[in-house]
Amino acid sequence: MSAPYTDKMIARKESGIGWMIFNNPAKHNAVSLEMWEAVPMILDDFLADESVRVIVLRGAGDKAFVSGADISQFEEKRSGEEATRHYNATTDKATASLMRADKPTLCMIQGYCMGGGVSIAVSCDLRIAAENSKFGVPAAKLGVGYAAPGIRKLMALVGPAFAREIFYTARQFTAQEAFQMGLVNRVVPNGQIEPYVREYAGTIAANAPLTLRAVKSIVGELLKDPGQRDEALMQRVADACFASEDYKEGRTAFMEKRKPQFKGR
């Protein structure tokens, strides 16, 4: 990869996994404007690299995934109409890039996952949390407005009643509460989350990329209002799997009782 976009973001590739690390531990990985700007650039690099099969987002250290936006920047970067518009456009671009990514995205959460951290997490496909994780959206304590797309993403996971509770109370929720709401897929012991996520991501990385891409595309379409769905696209990506070399490899490997070696074509 080229020179780092900012020292507060780390991009690493290991064994089919692209790691995106929010690296601001002194502020519990609070996200600055420069960090938001780096997210789609790192993603573009991961998506263009065929060796990267799955993308994992995490925070540096074990105290926080992302504790929210860097509030120290609000006066400079988020006050006034023009500055606020630019800031919101930058964060929207970052989360939209996660939503549009055609490779599986997995969020590894330890410690605080607050505000902007929740926005990032719900933009990923899957979320795995350590038992010490804390979740919350303190917008109502700051007077921050949330646009409809962000609320809709949260509602798609937890439903309207829990979405209201999260926003109305602005309180912190435990990892178990988040699991019960459907905000996270799994909760694992604190000391086991990194090896668990590595194995989990490795399992995904070993599967057929075209199948994963097709499922991600179809789920994305099905989450849209019926009139907005691209039925032809959904059929096309499913058909592409059956026409692929990987489909032949999968059948052959099954008959030969060995692990398939998928190539994504």
Question: Across residues 13-32, what is the average pLDDT?
Answer: 94
Q: What is the DSSP letter of 111?
A: S
Rounded to an integer, the average pLDDT of 137-166 is 90
Indicate if the pLDDT at residue 150 is higher than 90.
no
What local confidence, expressed as pLDDT, does residue 264 receive? 81
Nearest to 212 by CA among 16, 14, 2: 16
| 74 has pLDDT over 60 | no
Asked whether the predicted pLDDT for residue 77 surpasses 60, the reply is no
pLDDT greater than 70 at residue 240 = yes
Per-residue pLDDT, averaged over 171-194, amounts to 96
The Cα 57–Cα 143 span in angstroms is 28
Q: What is the pTM of this model?
A: 0.90
DSSP 250: H
Confidence of residue 1 (pLDDT cuts 50, 70, 90): very low
Contact criterion met (CB below 8 Å) for 43 and 102: no
Q: How confident is the model at residue 76 (pLDDT cuts 50, 70, 90)?
A: low
pLDDT at 9: 95
Distance (Å, whole) CA 176 – CA 165: 16
Q: Identify the pLDDT of residue 235.
A: 95
Mention the CATH class of domain 9-205.
alpha beta
Residue 184 has pLDDT above 50, yes or no: yes
Q: What per-residue confidence (pLDDT) applies to 106?
A: 98
pLDDT surpasses 80 at 27: yes
Question: Which pLDDT value is given to residue 3?
Answer: 41
Q: Reduced to 3 states, what is the DSSP secondary structure of residue 143?
A: coil
Is the pLDDT at 129 greater than 70? The verdict is yes
What is the rounded CA–CA span in Å between residue 83 and residue 53?
36
Of the pLDDT bands very low, low, confident and very high (cuts 50, 70, 90), residue 110 is very high
